Structure formats: C-alpha cells, structure tokens
Amino acid sequence: MSLCAGRISLKVVNTYINAMGGKLRFGILMSWFLIVEAARVAATVWLSYWTDTVDQPGGAPHGPLWYLMIYTIISGIQVGLPFLCKQIVRV
C-alpha cells in the first residue's frame, strides 16, 4: 500500500460532487449537515443554560415547560432534517 501526499485536483472534486447528484443537491446536503451540527451544539448549550438557571437564587425565570419546549424544537431539528435529507437522497 502506498500513500500519496499532495492536492486533489478540482476536476476530481467536481467528479465526486456530480456523482452525489450535482452542485445543488451537494449544497443542500452540506447546508443541512451544518444546520444539524449547529442544532447539536445548541442543544448542549441550551441544556447547560437550563440547568444554570435552576441553580440561581430565586429559581428559573420561566417554568419547566418553556425550557422543555425550546429543547424539543432543537431536538426536532436534529431528527427532522436528517430524515428529510434521507428522503431527498432516495429520490
């Protein structure tokens, strides 16, 4: 087995992108991937914020359903977009 070092030509990259369904589909998939990853980080940040507000003197400014609703929306993005992406790729 030999390893090569260097660059990949733009022609090779375009060949891979076209094999994935073209530039539009590639752009949509990459955008959704970034949104899902951002939602994953947002869920962690939100849980951290939620637990910090509970520990404050006087308690949290909102009820638990408020925090749970926001977390549910973020989690829905994490689950929904990959599902939609899978349906589009299948077409």
pTM (global) more than 0.85: no
Q: Write down the domain spans for the chain.
A: 29-90
Q: How confident is the model at residue 1 (pLDDT cuts 50, 70, 90)?
A: low
User: What integer pLDDT is reported at residue 91 of this predicted model?
Assistant: 57
Between 90 and 76, the more confident residue is: 76
User: What integer pLDDT is reported at residue 42 of this predicted model?
Assistant: 93
Burial class (CB in 10 A: 0-12, 13-18, 19+), 85: middle
pLDDT tens-digit map of 23-68: 988 888 888 889 889 999 999 999 998 888 877 777 778 888 988 9
Half-sphere exposure of 26 (CA within 13 A, CB side): 11
Q: Is the dihedral of CA 77, 79, 80, 83 positive or negative?
A: positive
